[in-house]
Amino acid sequence: MSDVTRPATTGDTPGGSRGRTAAVIPAAGRGVRLGPGAPKALRTLGGIPMLIHAVRAMARSRAVGVVVVVAPPDGAAEVRNLLDEHALPERTDFLVVPGGETRQESVRLGLEALPADVTSVLVHDAARPLVPVDTVDAVVEAVRDGAPAVVPALPLADTVKEVEPRTGGEPEPVVATPERARLRAVQTPQGFDRETLLRAHEKTAVSGEGATDDAGLVELLGVPVVLVPGHEEAFKVTRPLDLVLAEAVLARRRATDAY
């Protein structure tokens, strides 16, 4: 990367009245749906760990001054080594904290590590390594324009059915078919006013697996959440076929950009 040639900046708005924007990257999941192997965030795409792609995707935004990586609980030292080994912008500060049992717990642990001068927070899945910087900047801009919670999202290709879930491949009764045109698939980075996101994580207890979406916690507070256009390349690497797609996207970028 050519980031070292860029002039240093605090990432502040020109007036300098606001604090910094941080990106919290939950990367502590196992990746059960991807199959056996290393924790998902440490698996490589184009020879580089998925987590490093995700960190670079955040740090590529000039608005992002701090990145907090939430590492697998026993992998914080390994993640620190990876961050040291790979070229990252000098203008960005990096912190690593160990994660928790659920995504929600991991994000909360990341939020606890935020420096005091941070006023806006992005939460970005390590499992979305290829999000373009324009999407990151659009989310940051909407937060800086005053939205307390901003989510990148796309219309759905598939029609969605609500069901009574059954296990073991048993036929599942359909409960409803929501109108597809009113549905959106949400992505990350999701952007928040710091105080709003902290309050959401403090006040909302979600049972079982925990919340898979930070904006959902903000909705529970009754605070408005807005969507901005997401991007196809911000897809989440979840199942083995997603790795094939991610490699193809990377290969296309390497062929067409000075990536």
- Per-residue tokens: 77: 């030292």
Contact 52, 41 (CB under 8 A): no
User: In 3D, which of 138, 173, 165, 164 has the Cα closest to residue 153?
Assistant: 138
Footprint of Mg ion on 26-45 (CB under 5 A): 29
User: In 3D, which of 90, 65, 59 has the Cα closest to residue 11?
Assistant: 65
Q: Please identify, among the stretches 7-15, 28-36, 74-82, 139-147, the one whose residues bind ligand CTP according to the rule CB under 6 A.
A: 28-36
Contact 152, 189 (CB under 8 A): yes
When asked if residue 19 is in the footprint of ligand CTP (CB under 6 A), the reply is: no
Q: Which is nearer to ligand CTP, 101 or 202 (CB)?
A: 101
Size of the site for ligand CTP (CB under 6 A): 22
Q: Please identify, among the stretches 13-21, 24-32, 79-87, 89-97, the one whose residues bind ligand CTP according to the rule CB under 6 A.
A: 24-32
Among 31, 89, 216, 230, binds ligand CTP (CB under 6 A): 31
Among 58, 118, 121, 127, binds ligand CTP (CB under 6 A): 127
Backbone angles phi and psi of 228, in degrees to 5: -120, 165
Contact flags string 224-243 toward ligand CTP, x per CB under 6 A = ------------x-x-----
When asked if residue 43 is in the footprint of ligand CTP (CB under 6 A), the reply is: no
User: In the block, which residue shows the tokens 């009113």?
Assistant: 182
Q: Please identify, among the stretches 76-84, 94-102, 112-120, 170-178, the one whose residues bind ligand CTP according to the rule CB under 6 A.
A: 94-102
User: In the block, which residue shows the tokens 């989310």?
Assistant: 139
Interacting partner of 70 out of Mg ion, ligand CTP, none (Cβ under 5 to 8 A depending on kind): ligand CTP
Interacting partner of 233 out of Mg ion, ligand CTP, none (Cβ under 5 to 8 A depending on kind): none
Residues 6+ apart with CB under 8 A from 149: 190, 191, 192, 193, 196, 197, 215, 218, 219, 223, 224, 225, 226
Interacting partner of 26 out of Mg ion, ligand CTP, none (Cβ under 5 to 8 A depending on kind): ligand CTP
Tell me the residue ranges of DSSP E strands in 84-160. Answer: 93-98, 118-123, 149-155
State whether the Cα torsion 195-109-89-246 is positive or negative: negative
Interacting partner of 127 out of ligand CTP, Mg ion, none (Cβ under 5 to 8 A depending on kind): ligand CTP
When asked if residue 130 is in the footprint of ligand CTP (CB under 6 A), the reply is: no
Where on the chain is the footprint of Mg ion (CB under 5 A)?
29
